[in-house]
Chains A and B, each alone.
Chain A
Amino acid sequence: MADVRVLVIRAAGINCDEEVMHAWRLAGASPSLVHVNTLAGKPAMLDDYSILTIPGGFSYGDDIAAGAILARRLQDDLAARLRAFVNGGGGILGICNGFQVLVKMGLLPGGEFGRDKVTVTFNASAKFEARWVRLQVCTACCPYLQEGNVLEMPVEHAEGKVVTADDTVTDKLLGTGRVALRYVDDDGRHDVYPANPNGSTAGIAGLCDSTGRVFGLMPHPDRHFDHTQHPHWTRRNNPTRPPDGLTVFQNAVRFWSS
């Protein structure tokens, strides 16, 4: 297997870089932590990596709107370079604040769905909310995921509600496999609180672009890389499969190393 090099971006207010680095390492990748200013000053360094990751946090305080300022910065300094990186086979993973950044840059869902079609905004409850959710994988074209799986991991955010310009956009997203993850409750419903913690349209929890290689999600796979992180681990006996969050990173390593 080839070494999978991952560039993890750091910026003022990004605060999940440490666990994201660790999750990539556990999955067998070689991650490097790079400040966004360093990357903007030397964009060619991207060529040395297979995957770019934007971790969670409150980049630039989430002032104006969540992810808005970092999105603007990447857009102004690196937009063309990032598109070339993806076209050349690279992957981008955005978690929580990183997902908000990718949506606000227009990289997700990308293509025909521009900035004016899809956004992420304040939770229906207007509050920050921390809880574990169940996620249904709804696409076959995203190398970070395996279709049909149900994953458990936490959400912790105040602005995670995905909103589309109208129902046609939602239907198109669902129909073309761009909705990678949907919140789901025990009865298979996507729109019931608190299983859908933020009122997201159609229960959308994660999106990917048409290649599947650009993927973002509100929940935190980086907070479920060990069994002792699951809220019910003390009720369970010897789990046999890897923690759900870790599989996201492992799937990516498998894809990019082959």
Chain B
Amino acid sequence: MHRDRAASSQRWHIQVSPRRPDLDGHGRDVLADVRQIGLEHIEGVRSSRVYLLEGRLLESDVRLLAEELLCDPVAEVFEVREGFARRDDIDGAIEVHPLPGVMNPAALSTLDAAGRLLASQGRSQARVEAVQTARRYVILGARNAPELEQIAARVLANNCIETWFIRGFGRSDPIPDALPTPRERPFELRHIPIRRLTDDELTRLSREAHLFLSLSEMRTIRDHFDKLNREPTDLELETLAQTWSEHCVHKTFRSSIVYRGEDFGRPGTIEVRFDNLLKDTIVAATAKLNRDWCLSVFVDNAGIVAFDEEYGIAFKVETHNHPSAIEPYGGAATGVGGCIRDIMGCGLGAKPIASTDVFCLAPPDFDPTRLPAGVLHPRRVLKGVVGGVRDYGNRMGIPTVNGAIYFDERYLANPLVFCGCIGLIPRDRILKEPRFGDLIVVAGGRTGRDGIHGATFSSAELTEQHADEFSHAVQIGNAIEEKKLLDALLIARDDSDGCLYSAVTDCGAGGLSSAVGEMGAELGAVVDLEKAPLKYAGLRYDEIWISEAQERMVFAVSPDRIDRFLSVFAEEEVEATVIGTFTDDRILRVRYKGQSVGELDMAFLHNGLPRTVRTASWTSQPRSSTPGCYKTVTSDIANDTLLQTLSSLNIASKEWVIRQYDHEVQGRSVIKPLVGTGFGPSDAAVLRPRYTSYRGIAIGCGLCPEWTDVDPYWMAVRTIDEALRNVVCVGGDPERTSILDNFCWPKCDCEESLGALVRACRGASDAAVAYGLPFISGKDSLNNEFSMSADEARRTGLPQSIAIPGTLLVSALAQIEDVRHCVSMDLKEPGNRLILASAPVDRHGMEKARSIHHLVSHCIRDGKVRSAHDVSDGGLATALAEMCIASGLGAVIDMPQEYDRHSMFTPVATTYVLEMKQVDADASGFPIIGQMTNLPRLSISQGASRWIDLGVEEMARAWRSPLAQGGGH
């Protein structure tokens, strides 16, 4: 955020504040959070923005900047002071500054805009050299300095990326009087002696250097370099660690596994060997189904299916769990940004048209006194991840159209953040291949020290210390940089002379090391690291190579197109720089200022990883047949049970979150996340990708980790069933539905936990084959466990090690021939009949279940269905209640005699509630369970016995209140 600075620089502090307290919405927001942490006596919070300026600036220059650029003359007032260390005597002021080196997009924009303004006003003597932005708060009613410290640490700032200065009650933290200047470091090539190390020493090196490699992997590397008769450089070791990380190669999923235990979906025990778990289950299902509309599966950054003659749809879902645990806002934002880049870097580039997001978190009302050290409170995590998705997605102009939030205490220290992105790609832009002689171009944001060790970090188990040790793995996003990069990429892709590059990929985990290493795997590459543009001086060569600084992509550009390519990027104000060349010797050569800093054989880098054979087991012990969290009916009238179910966190309205996302930008939205006059929960989103056609896509998801506790096999089957039901409900075609898998699992270091994963994989592949749903892309995140000291466990009353429940997210993408035939879940017309379409899912049932999905879909697409809703969490009673809430209309239900009232709240797979006109209902062959009424009341009975009788308003209140303010207030 600075240019070269002169010795005579002057420093100015500009504070911009709301003119009146009623204009200080941010202050009110902070006040609510402060009271939430128990400081009820705080009377008010006044917020201000602060700009710290360095440069050749007179006071009149600074006032001009404040008046004409930084301060709104109607809504705000400003104060200008010389020097950064404010001298005021207000008790209770807190100033929050970003830590040095942390990405600050607002400071960059301000530096640029301030320079332009001074120039346009003819102030040629003036010069802004550096800008930092900060936030300032005055806490009214605080009683002492420790309270201020608590507010700063728990509400205002995150010490991974920010620092704070407190004034008041005798405390006066010294604010540094100058912005930090990066230190130049002399070049020094470092080798890591490894050839003589014992097993113990190898293990220690892996841990201390944050390589997270196993002993057998360390031995393989030692032997490789021993054969070469030299020691590896630090860069070589880092490159291997990144490339071989669980995050990048999915060692567990690709390992060879012998499974012994309960059979899959039928009684008895078996022993079976998987040569490669992923290939033998998920990938095999897709191969078996062999659909010609799957255009690109499991080979690129995203899966691609055909949309129409000209276009394909790309879909990818990523996780960003570990970074979000430490810094929820930045972690979620860069998760969104990274997944969008996967779509931009898929084929020769797809245009992102929608995003999805799913969070698994601990309940926001978790007792704060039981929070383990090093863990953020779930309410803060929720606010942070929602804010991150909101700010990145909205700024990119990509609608966030579908998602879910699932609460379970076991996600306390390992929140899960799934980010999905969908893109539209011309079918003649799917194939890419870098060629010998192509130049390697890095484009987009500059490289900084942010996000170092992200790939290896995300493959590790979290501990109390991780928040400190890995704060450098935190990344802060700059959505506008990525938007510019997207604009430039699409112009270069669609150049009138054809695509201006031969391949592209995003710079994600592992940074340049992964991007260049993967792109050049079949060729070889030579890279000159000093050419990479840097955010600030002082980065070492290995830091440049593995930095995960955001908003960067790597292109392969033929030398005869490079001038045109660079000029397109320059016009869009996106920095693009040639840093190397693809060769043909299958060697990765990395240089810094002409000197070799790494030379790795591509064959060893990509194929040298030792394969492991592991054993897995699963004993069929008596387990409960349904998850413990489900409610059963205990009294004759179950009104209270329904109200409690509607206001349970997993079912309650997520409107507070959804309204913070722009879900309509780009104008493609057909079925929105909130539907009907009562804003009911839509089963899936529908989009119209091309303005010139009514052909559409439906996007939905399935998630039921509570079933993992019963049996991961059936959990996976149910999850796929749920994802399919959701897209079928809005009008999606089950014959043209593809799915994506995201496994988030605890450690798989023992036979039983690996056995659980094996069962989930088999359940997923069996259901995919039975339902005819090819997997097109997937990702996994393992080791989602947290360990704490025995003392800490005693203090909090939590187990010393907390493992998440094995979690599988299945995202579904269905085609829709004509979106004008779609339906939503809100009830439409009094007098219409409600029918129940269902089939049991068991080992005999998957074929039957498949036929139900298809029958329901035909009824919908034939225009016979006025509304449709999937029966999932909370069972049939909840589904009916939600349909009433969404429309403000009522229903009278009379259940058939054979229906067991105890299952009213149990989620049953393959079950739909459909609204039809009487004549269509009669002809449908499905049982009619009731009819709709004008009276806004839901009554459910069986003959003379009344089970539920509740007004719609009362149900709506129960459903809306729990998360109305993000779980607070």
State the A residues within 8 Å of B (CB): 10, 12-13, 15-16, 18-19, 22-23, 35, 37, 56-58, 60-65, 68-69, 72-73, 76-77, 104, 115-119, 121-131, 154, 156, 163-165, 220, 222-223, 225-226, 228-229, 231-232, 234-235
* A164 / chain B contacts, CB cutoff of 8 Å: 74
Q: Are B688 and A60 in contact (CB under 8 A)?
A: no
CB distance from A237 to the nearest CB of B (A): 11
B25 touches A (CB below 8 Å): yes
Given contacts A64-B70, A154-B664, A128 and B478 within 8 Å (CB-CB): no
B667 touches A (CB below 8 Å): yes
B665 touches A (CB below 8 Å): yes
* A60 / chain B contacts, CB cutoff of 8 Å: 109, 113, 480
A124 to B18, CA, bound (A): 12
The interface residues of chain A, by DSSP majority, are classed as mixed
Q: Are B28 and A13 in contact (CB under 8 A)?
A: no
Given contacts A22-B691, A65-B72, A223-B664, A232 and B677 within 8 Å (CB-CB): yes
* A118 / chain B contacts, CB cutoff of 8 Å: 74
Q: Are B75 and A121 in contact (CB under 8 A)?
A: yes
* 28 residue pairs A–B, Cβ–Cβ below 8 Å: A12-B483, A12-B484, A22-B691, A35-B572, A58-B395, A58-B480, A60-B109, A61-B395, A63-B109, A64-B109, A69-B69, A69-B109, A72-B68, A72-B116, A76-B117, A104-B72, A119-B72, A121-B74, A127-B29, A127-B660, A130-B659, A163-B23, A225-B667, A228-B819, A229-B670, A234-B822, A234-B828, A235-B676
Given contacts A69-B109, A122-B23, A228-B688, A165 and B480 within 8 Å (CB-CB): no
Q: Are A131 and B659 in contact (CB under 8 A)?
A: yes
Q: Are B676 and A117 in contact (CB under 8 A)?
A: no
Q: Are A130 and B484 in contact (CB under 8 A)?
A: no
Q: Are B660 and A130 in contact (CB under 8 A)?
A: yes
* B664 / chain A contacts, CB cutoff of 8 Å: 130, 154, 156, 220, 223, 229
A76 to B116, CA, bound (A): 9
B182 touches A (CB below 8 Å): no
Q: Are A18 and B666 in contact (CB under 8 A)?
A: yes
Per-residue 0/1 for B659-688: is the Cβ within 8 Å of any A Cβ (1 yes, 0 no)?
111111111011110111100000000001
* B694 / chain A contacts, CB cutoff of 8 Å: 228
A225 to B645, CA, bound (A): 39
Q: Are B396 and A15 in contact (CB under 8 A)?
A: yes
Q: Are A222 and B667 in contact (CB under 8 A)?
A: yes
Q: Are A73 and B116 in contact (CB under 8 A)?
A: yes
A58 to B484, CA, bound (A): 12
Q: Are A72 and B69 in contact (CB under 8 A)?
A: yes
Q: Are A61 and B819 in contact (CB under 8 A)?
A: no
Identity of the chain B residue whose Cβ is nearest the Cβ of A65 in the assembled complex = B72
* A22 / chain B contacts, CB cutoff of 8 Å: 667, 691
B106 touches A (CB below 8 Å): yes
Identity of the chain A residue whose Cβ is nearest the Cβ of B107 in the assembled complex = A63
B394 touches A (CB below 8 Å): yes
Q: Are A234 and B480 in contact (CB under 8 A)?
A: no
Among B72, B113, B572, B826, the residue within 8 A (CB) of A72 is B113
A234 to B865, CA, bound (A): 11
A154 to B662, CA, bound (A): 10
Given contacts A63-B106, A64-B110, A119 and B483 within 8 Å (CB-CB): no
Q: Are A58 and B394 in contact (CB under 8 A)?
A: yes
Among B120, B663, B670, the residue within 8 A (CB) of A130 is B663
* B113 / chain A contacts, CB cutoff of 8 Å: 60, 64, 68-69, 72-73
A184 to B279, CA, bound (A): 58
* A18 / chain B contacts, CB cutoff of 8 Å: 666-667
A63 to B28, CA, bound (A): 21
A13 to B482, CA, bound (A): 9
Query: Which of the listed residues B23, B74, B480 has the most CB atoms from chain A within 10 Å of its own CB?
Result: B74
Per-residue 0/1 for B161-193: is the Cβ within 8 Å of any A Cβ (1 yes, 0 no)?
000000000000000000000000000000000
Identity of the chain B residue whose Cβ is nearest the Cβ of A23 in the assembled complex = B667
Q: Are B29 and A72 in contact (CB under 8 A)?
A: no
* B487 / chain A contacts, CB cutoff of 8 Å: 10
CB distance from B928 to the nearest CB of A (A): 22
CB distance from B256 to the nearest CB of A (A): 47
Interface range, B side: 35 or more
* B593 / chain A contacts, CB cutoff of 8 Å: none
B885 touches A (CB below 8 Å): no
A170 to B824, CA, bound (A): 42
Q: Are A126 and B29 in contact (CB under 8 A)?
A: yes
A118 to B72, CA, bound (A): 10
CB distance from A168 to the nearest CB of B (A): 13
B479 touches A (CB below 8 Å): yes
* B828 / chain A contacts, CB cutoff of 8 Å: 234-235
* B69 / chain A contacts, CB cutoff of 8 Å: 64, 68-69, 72
A57 to B660, CA, bound (A): 15
Q: Are B666 and A122 in contact (CB under 8 A)?
A: no
CB distance from A170 to the nearest CB of B (A): 12
Q: Are A58 and B479 in contact (CB under 8 A)?
A: yes
Given contacts A58-B394, A63-B109, A228-B688, A130 and B25 within 8 Å (CB-CB): no
CB distance from B80 to the nearest CB of A (A): 16
* B106 / chain A contacts, CB cutoff of 8 Å: 61, 63-64
* Given A68-B72, A118-B74, A126-B29, 16 additional A-B pairs, CB 8 A: A12-B484, A13-B395, A57-B397, A64-B106, A68-B113, A73-B116, A119-B73, A119-B75, A124-B25, A128-B659, A156-B394, A164-B74, A220-B664, A223-B669, A228-B822, A234-B828
A168 to B694, CA, bound (A): 49
Q: Are B25 and A123 in contact (CB under 8 A)?
A: yes
Among A10, A19, A65, A119, the residue within 8 A (CB) of B667 is A19
Q: Are A234 and B479 in contact (CB under 8 A)?
A: no
Q: Are B573 and A117 in contact (CB under 8 A)?
A: no
* B479 / chain A contacts, CB cutoff of 8 Å: 58, 61
Identity of the chain A residue whose Cβ is nearest the Cβ of B72 in the assembled complex = A119
A63 to B105, CA, bound (A): 8
* A225 / chain B contacts, CB cutoff of 8 Å: 667
A60 to B481, CA, bound (A): 9
A127 to B964, CA, bound (A): 13
B571 touches A (CB below 8 Å): yes
* A62 / chain B contacts, CB cutoff of 8 Å: 395
B390 touches A (CB below 8 Å): yes
A76 to B26, CA, bound (A): 31
B823 touches A (CB below 8 Å): yes
Per-residue 0/1 for B816-835: is the Cβ within 8 Å of any A Cβ (1 yes, 0 no)?
00011011101010000000
* A126 / chain B contacts, CB cutoff of 8 Å: 25-26, 28-29
* A220 / chain B contacts, CB cutoff of 8 Å: 664
Nearest 3 interchain pairs by C-beta: A15-B397, A126-B25, A19-B667
Identity of the chain B residue whose Cβ is nearest the Cβ of A68 in the assembled complex = B69
* B677 / chain A contacts, CB cutoff of 8 Å: 232, 235
A189 to B500, CA, bound (A): 56
A132 to B922, CA, bound (A): 37
Q: Are A130 and B662 in contact (CB under 8 A)?
A: yes
Identity of the chain A residue whose Cβ is nearest the Cβ of B397 in the assembled complex = A15
Q: Are A228 and B659 in contact (CB under 8 A)?
A: no
Given contacts A61-B395, A232-B677, A15 and B74 within 8 Å (CB-CB): no
* B394 / chain A contacts, CB cutoff of 8 Å: 58, 128, 156
CB distance from B757 to the nearest CB of A (A): 38
Q: Are B73 and A115 in contact (CB under 8 A)?
A: yes
A25 to B397, CA, bound (A): 21
Identity of the chain A residue whose Cβ is nearest the Cβ of B119 in the assembled complex = A76
Among B74, B110, B688, B867, the residue within 8 A (CB) of A119 is B74
Q: Are B26 and A231 in contact (CB under 8 A)?
A: no
A64 to B662, CA, bound (A): 21
A76 to B118, CA, bound (A): 10
Q: Are A12 and B573 in contact (CB under 8 A)?
A: yes
A171 to B766, CA, bound (A): 69
A118 to B73, CA, bound (A): 9
A114 to B642, CA, bound (A): 57
Tell me the residues in window 120-164 of chain B with beta carbons closer than 8 Å to chain A beta carbons: 120
* A16 / chain B contacts, CB cutoff of 8 Å: 397, 665-666
Q: Are A122 and B117 in contact (CB under 8 A)?
A: no
* A154 / chain B contacts, CB cutoff of 8 Å: 664
